[in-house]
């Protein structure tokens, strides 16, 4: 639990408001979350222990306890949200459920980068190799986002449906080298966008799909 405490301390130090989910079982280490869940309260201001000294050295966060606010998640699935937005007037507890769901596209972007583009699986352990891999994968995701936007603008997609971003990656992955080198014809990209626009899913507001507990699908380092 050292990393979440360090992250909360670092964000607080930089004056950045955060809203993070902590698991219903207490996140395997936040004693204050376990106590809060047992209390039945809708919200509570608590103090996190100071970050571990090794995390302070690694991340440069302050080695002091931090005050945070726990809010019972206002959704059918329940759970707890942790935030440093302590002002109950400007940030009422009832607003956090909708706020968290508005962040879902960001959560999906992290999932896409980590699992589809294997952001954490680098080709080398030197600083240069990691920087190159990171930049290439972020560029790839940005290009896929632009193609997704273009496909939606140039092809009819029903309002209630969303383009499947995982399928966009599957379509563009074999084409990207040729497109970036200027070898592929523009017609290839047009055909790809037509294909992408046909692979959609129905978007339902407020739909909750609890994930089954299972190991994260990270690849093993080749070194």
- Backbone phi, then psi, for 46, in 5-degree steps? -130, 170
Q: Is residue 208 part of a domain?
A: no
Residues 77 and 26 in one domain: yes
Classify residue 219: in a domain, yes or no: no
| pLDDT per position as a tens digit, 5-16 | 888 888 888 999
Q: Which two tokens stand for residue 162?
A: 């969303």
Same domain, 85 and 135: no
Q: Are residues 8 and 95 in the same domain?
A: yes
Cβ neighbours for 127, distance < 8 A, ≥ 6 positions apart: none
Domain boundary among 102, 125, 147: 102
Report yes or no on 223 lying in a domain.
Answer: no
11 lies in a domain?
yes
**Mean pLDDT value of segment 105-115:** 83
Kindly state the average pLDDT of the residues 170-197: 87
Residues 33 and 115 occupy one common structural domain: no
Q: Is residue 158 part of a domain?
A: yes
- Please report whether residue 142 resides in a domain: yes
Pure H helices in the chain: 2-13, 31-39, 53-59, 96-102, 104-111, 127-154, 165-172, 176-180, 186-198
Residues 86, 122 share a domain: no
Tally of domains within the chain: 2
CA separation for the pair 5, 30 (Å, rounded)? 9
- Is residue 195 located within the same domain as residue 110? yes
What mean pLDDT is predicted for residues 146-163?
90
Q: Give 74-113 as a DSSP string.
A: -STT--EEEES---TTTS-GGGHHHHHHHTHHHHHHHHII
Q: Do residues 78 and 44 share a domain?
A: yes
Owning domain of residue 125: 104-202
pLDDT confidence bin for 26, thresholds 50/70/90: very low
Query: Is 217 among the domain residues?
Result: no
């Amino acid at each position: 639990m050292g990393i979440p405490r360090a992250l909360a301390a670092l964000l607080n130090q930089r004056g950045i408001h955060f809203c993070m989910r902590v698991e219903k079982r207490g996140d395997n280490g936040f004693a204050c979350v376990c106590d809060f869940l047992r209390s039945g309260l809708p919200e509570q201001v608590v103090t996190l222990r100071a970050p571990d000294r090794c995390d302070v050295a690694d991340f440069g966060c302050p080695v002091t306890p931090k005050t945070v606010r726990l809010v019972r998640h206002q959704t059918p699935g329940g759970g707890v949200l942790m935030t440093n937005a302590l002002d109950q007037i400007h940030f009422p507890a009832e607003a956090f459920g909708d706020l968290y769901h508005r962040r879902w596209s960001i959560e999906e972007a992290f999932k896409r980068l980590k699992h589809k583009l294997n952001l954490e699986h680098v080709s080398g352990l030197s600083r240069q190799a990691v920087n190159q891999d990171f930049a290439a994968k972020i560029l790839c995701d940005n290009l896929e986002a632009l193609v997704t936007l273009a496909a939606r603008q140039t092809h009819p997609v029903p309002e209630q449906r969303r383009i499947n971003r995982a399928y966009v990656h599957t379509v563009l992955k074999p084409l990207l080298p040729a497109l970036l080198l200027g070898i592929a014809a523009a017609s290839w990209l047009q055909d790809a966008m037509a294909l992408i626009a046909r692979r959609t899913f129905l978007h339902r507001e407020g739909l909750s799909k609890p994930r089954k507990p299972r190991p994260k699908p990270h690849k093993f380092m080749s070194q």
